[in-house]
Amino acid sequence: MQPEVITVSQFVGIINDTLAIAYPLVIVEGEVSSFKVNQGKFVFFDLKDDTSTLSCFMMLHQLRLPIEDGMKVRVTGSPKITKFSKFSLTVRAIEPAGEGELRRAMELLKRKLTAEGLFDVSRKRPLPQYPHTIGLITSATSAAYSDFIKILGARWGGVDVRLADVTVQGNTAPDQIVGAIEYFNQASPPVDVVVLIRGGGSLDDLSAFSTEPVARAVAGSRTPVIVGVGHEIDVSLADYAADVRAATPTDAARLVVPDRLEREAHITFTAGRMIQAIGGLAEARHTQIDRHLDAMQRYLRRPAETVREATVVLSRHLERMEGSLRRTGELTAYLRGSLEPAYRNAIVRRRERAISLERLLRSASPETVLARGYSIVRTKTAILKDAAKVQSGEELMVQLAKGTLSVKVKK
Amino acid sequence: MPLKPFHFEAAIKELEEITQWFESTEADLDEGLVKFERGMELATQLKEHLATVENRVEKIKARFDGTRQPAQPTEPFGDETDLLD
The pLDDT tens digits of the residues spanning A313-338 come to: 667 777 776 666 666 666 665 555 55
Judge: A129–B27 Cβ closer than 8 Å, yes or no. Answer: no
From chain B, the residues in CB contact with A38 under 8 A are 76, 79, 82
Of A59, A268, A334, nearest to B33 by CB-CB distance is A334
Which whole-number Å values give the CA distances from A306 to A86, A296, A389, in the listed order?
127, 13, 20
When mean pLDDT is compared across A17-21, A41-45, A250-254, A274-278, the lowest value belongs to: A274-278
pLDDT at residue B23 tops 80: yes
Among A residues 288-347, those touching chain B with beta carbons less than 8 Å apart: 327-328, 330-331, 334, 338
- Give the nearest chain A residue to B19 (CA atoms): A274
Nearest to A64 by CA among B5, B70, B56: B70
pLDDT at residue A49 tops 80: yes
- Give the nearest chain B residue to A264 (CA atoms): B47
CB A225 within 8 A of CB A122: no
Judge: B54–A153 Cβ closer than 8 Å, yes or no. Answer: yes
pLDDT at residue A74 tops 50: yes
Phi, psi (rounded to 5 degrees) for A78:
-120, 135
Q: Is A205 helix (H, G, I), strand (E, B) or coil?
A: coil
Would you place residue A349 in the very low, low, confident or very high pLDDT band (cuts 50, 70, 90)? Answer: confident
Q: At what angle do helices A260-300 and A307-335 cross, to 10 degrees?
A: 170
Residue A385 CA to residue A199 CA, distance in Å, equals 103
Please write the tens of the pLDDT for every residue from A272-293: 998 888 888 877 777 777 777 7
From chain A, the residues in CB contact with B57 under 8 A are 136, 149, 161, 163
pLDDT, position A8: 93
Give the helix, strand, coil percentages of chain A, each rounded to 5. 50, 20, 30
Among B residues 9-68, those touching chain A with beta carbons less than 8 Å apart: 9, 12, 15-16, 18-19, 22-23, 27-30, 32-33, 36-37, 39-40, 43, 46-47, 49-50, 52-60, 62, 64-65, 67-68
Judge: A55–B83 Cβ closer than 8 Å, yes or no. Answer: yes
Q: Is omega for the bond preceding A24 within 30 degrees of 0, making it cis?
A: no
pLDDT, position A173: 92
pLDDT at residue A376 tops 90: no
Q: Which of B53, B54, B83, B84 to mutate to test the interface with A (most CBs of A within 10 A)?
A: B83
Beta-carbon pairs below 8 A across chains A and B: 170
Average pLDDT, chain A: 85
Q: Hey, what amino acid is at A67? A: I
Q: How much of chain A exceeds pLDDT 90, in percent? A: 49
CB A303 within 8 A of CB B6: no
β-bridge partners, A164: A137
Residue A344 CA to residue A340 CA, distance in Å, equals 7
Please write the tens of the pLDDT for every residue from A95-154: 888 888 888 888 889 999 999 999 999 999 999 999 999 999 999 999 999 999 999 999
Q: Which of B15, B20, B22 to mutate to test the interface with A (most CBs of A within 10 A)?
A: B22
Would you place residue A302 in the very low, low, confident or very high pLDDT band (cuts 50, 70, 90)? Answer: low
pLDDT at residue B69 tops 50: no
Judge: B52–A88 Cβ closer than 8 Å, yes or no. Answer: no
Please write the tens of the pLDDT for every residue from A206-233: 889 999 999 999 999 999 999 999 876 7
Average pLDDT, chain B: 74
Among A residues 348-387, those touching chain B with beta carbons less than 8 Å apart: none
pLDDT, position B70: 45
Q: At what angle do helices A260-300 and A341-364 cross, to 10 degrees?
A: 20
Residue A137 CA to residue A1 CA, distance in Å, equals 65
CB A187 within 8 A of CB A162: yes
pLDDT at residue A390 tops 90: no
pLDDT, position A231: 77
CB A263 within 8 A of CB B9: no
Nearest to A321 by CA among A290, A363, A299, A365: A290
Contacts of A296 by beta carbon, 8 Å cutoff, 6+ apart: A314, A317, A318, A357, A361
Nearest to B75 by CA among A38, A76, A28: A38
CB B19 within 8 A of CB A274: yes
Nearest to A159 by CA among B49, B43, B61, B15: B49
Of A165, A176, A183, nearest to B59 by CB-CB distance is A165
pLDDT at residue A26 tops 90: yes
Of A59, A130, A334, nearest to B70 by CB-CB distance is A59
Which whole-number Å values give the CA distances from A289 to A50, A175, A230, A283, in the listed order?
103, 75, 67, 10
Q: What is the average pLDDT across A42-61?
A: 93
pLDDT, position A329: 64
Judge: A172–B65 Cβ closer than 8 Å, yes or no. Answer: yes
- In this complex, is the C-beta atom of A86 within 8 Å of any C-beta atom belonging to chain B? yes
Q: Minimal Cα–Cα distance from B84 to chain A, Å?
A: 7
Residue A78 CA to residue B48 CA, distance in Å, equals 64
Q: Which residue has the higher pLDDT, A205 or A221?
A: A221
